[in-house]
Structure 1
Amino acid sequence: MARYFTPRMIGAHLVALACVGVAGSLGVWQYDAWQANRAAEAVDLSELEPRPIADVMGPDDPFPAAFVGQPVTVSGTWLPESTVYVSGREVDGADGFWAVTPLAVGSAADDPALPVVRGWVADPADAPAPPTGTAEVVTWLQPPEGTGQADDDPTDDVLPQMRTADLIQQVDQDLYGAYGVVDADEPSTNAGAEGLTPATLEQLPPPGRLTALRNILYAFEWWVFGAFAAFIWWRFVREEEVPHEVPAEADPVPSEA
């Protein structure tokens, strides 16, 4: 029994325990993320009472999966020079664009900004001038899109999706890890939606399943790694149980007289 508690074996036990523990914990974390994504898709929060955005997420926080579609109130300063138009949005079968202007959330124009979908337009050339000054709007909170579609012309103000990596190229400050869609039925101050068709969540592209699928696959990957570490530890212990035979010392060769 003592051979299982030699310094060499204790080190092996600790390494195996650490590997299995870390792999198991990371697997559970990915599994919880998968469940959170599934739960968020199953819940419609858009009819709830608006909450201040600070109660839901901060500018440096990852998107809270449990708050997809949550109405939030946002106050700040418009950044009209950073207005972009997101293609591929349909209204009554007509293809068009979302007019998106970042809103610096806070009292200063250089505070982190939330991209705000002000409304829909068939052609960006027909869009009204973006708003200026301060505003207080109610928006439906949405996670950034990530379909992988490439921006064919990064130099213009038309984007193929609401992806943070594309939006940040148009803004000189930090962005929230989210965007908002103005709720036209809620009272807002200087919402910048005049001359635009109201944007709705029905204009969103079909939700992708890749993120949730990736989470569950990562969970299984970590658990397999933990099981493999446990197997290696078991093999190591089994080999220690086998007695090591000491080779018999060879008989000396008799010298010739």
Structure 2
Amino acid sequence: MIRTALKPAWLALLALLVVVVVAFYQLGMWQLGVSSNAASREFAAEQATRPTVPLAEAITPQSTFPDDGAGRSVLVTGTYVPELQFLVPQRLLEGEPGYWVVTPVRTVGSSPEALLPVVRGFVPAPADAGRPDPDVPVELTGTLAPGEAPGPTGLPEGQRGSIDTAELVNDWDSPIYDAFLFLVQESPTLTTSEVRAVPPPVFGETGVVWRNVGYALQWFIFAAFAVYMYVRFLRDAAQEPAPAPATDLPTLSPPVKEPRP
């Protein structure tokens, strides 16, 4: 069968098969991506319809993060605590590497007053972070997120590997929320233009759109069927019997002349 496959005609057919299989695979993966993206858009639209609520209605200090808290839009009132500000390195914004600027807010209206870490934005270099005025009351609107897993250690002073609230509760001499906030709006504006806003991510189980998953499976089946047909035709061609050799023609004897009377 290998000898047959190495013939020019079958090599050309193999090249065509590779092109077809790759194309079908890419179309299948594209449909899977479409299914996930469509589900994410649907979840994001649902998340956007949830009303903004005061922070106290979404979470309280020193309590576990609520099951429905991720992605919740909340209103926070308090003052920044710039001396506790830190940077989180190895973050990306539109493909650019840099740092998240995290400044806690000491909330008012909660009992007890507590600290809520706030991602004020993104900077490409630590010198661009700046520090907000601690004496000016501020009203923030943002998106809640659960604390992150521990990050890398051994970083320069003023930097942390992640927004790990379990670590912050040991380092900050104040009650804290088991959450952090992606800043969306700030009044009055205390964050400089050098600190670029970080778009809040879409949280939760986004799922898939099964219609597009079905389309993806169809493309994968088409690719498998093309491979199957190639192998089958190749095997049949390899098993065809060789043409029988030509048999020797019968030897004709010269005609015998009969004697004349």
- Give the TM interval when normalised to the shorter protein: 0.5 to 0.7
Equivalent position of 1:141 in the other structure: 144
1:101 aligns with 2:103: yes
Which residue of 2 is the match for residue 56 of structure 1? 58
| CA displacement at 1:43 relative to structure 2 | 4.2
Aligned alpha-carbon RMSD (Å) = 3.2
- Counterpart position of 1:194: 192
Residue of structure 1 aligned with 2:121, choices 119, 122, 130: 119
Larger Rg: 2
Q: Does 1:75 align with 2:77?
A: yes
TM-score, normalised via structure 1 length? 0.56
Length-normalised TM-score, structure 2: 0.55
Distance 1:132 1:167, change over 3 A: same
1:121-144 deviation digits (Å, cap 9, x = unpaired): 111112222332211100100000
User: Matched residues in 2 for 1:68 and 1:51: separation?
Assistant: 13
Partners of 2:133 and 2:177 in 1: CA distance: 20
Relative distance call for 1:201 and 1:50 in structure 2 (3 A) is: same
User: CA shift at 1:150, angstroms?
Assistant: 3.2
TM-aligned CA distance change 1:170 to 1:101, over 3 Å:
farther
2:190 maps to a residue whose letter is G
The Cα of 1:201 is off from its aligned counterpart by 2.1
Structure 1 Cα separation of the partners of residues 188 and 144 of structure 2: 19
Unmatched tracts of structure 1, length 5 or more: 1-41, 208-257
State the shift of 1:166 in Å.
3.3
Distance in 1 between residues matched to 2:49 and 2:123, nearest whole Å: 25
Q: Please list the CA deviations of residues 95-154 of structure 1 after superposition, one character each: whole Å capped at 9, or x if unmatched.
A: 11111111111169x8211101111111111222233221110010000011x433213x
User: CA contact under 8 A between 2:59 and 2:69: conserved in structure 1?
Assistant: no
Residue 86 of structure 2 contacts residue 102 of structure 2 at CA under 8 Å; is this kept in 1?
A: yes
Secondary structure at 1:168's aligned position in 2?
helix
* Counterparts of 1:170 and 1:120, CA distance in 2: 23
Residue 91 in structure 1 maps to residue 89 in structure 2: no
Deviations 1:33-63, CA, capped at 9 Å, x for gaps: xxxxxxxxx9432453311011111112210
Contact (CA 8 Å) 1:83, 1:130: kept in 2 or not? Answer: no
Looking at structure 1, the residues matched to 117 and 189 of structure 2 have their Cα atoms a distance apart, in angstroms, of 13
CA distance in 2, matches of 1:124, 1:165: 24
Gaps of 5+ in 2: 1-41, 205-261
Q: What secondary structure does 1:67 align onto?
A: coil
**One-letter amino acid matched to 1:197:** R
Mapped partners of 1:175, 1:191: distance in 2:
24
- Sequence identity percentage: 27
Q: 1:169: Cα distance to partner?
A: 5.2
SS for the counterpart of 1:166 is: helix
Specify the code of the residue in structure 2 equivalent to 1:80.
Answer: P
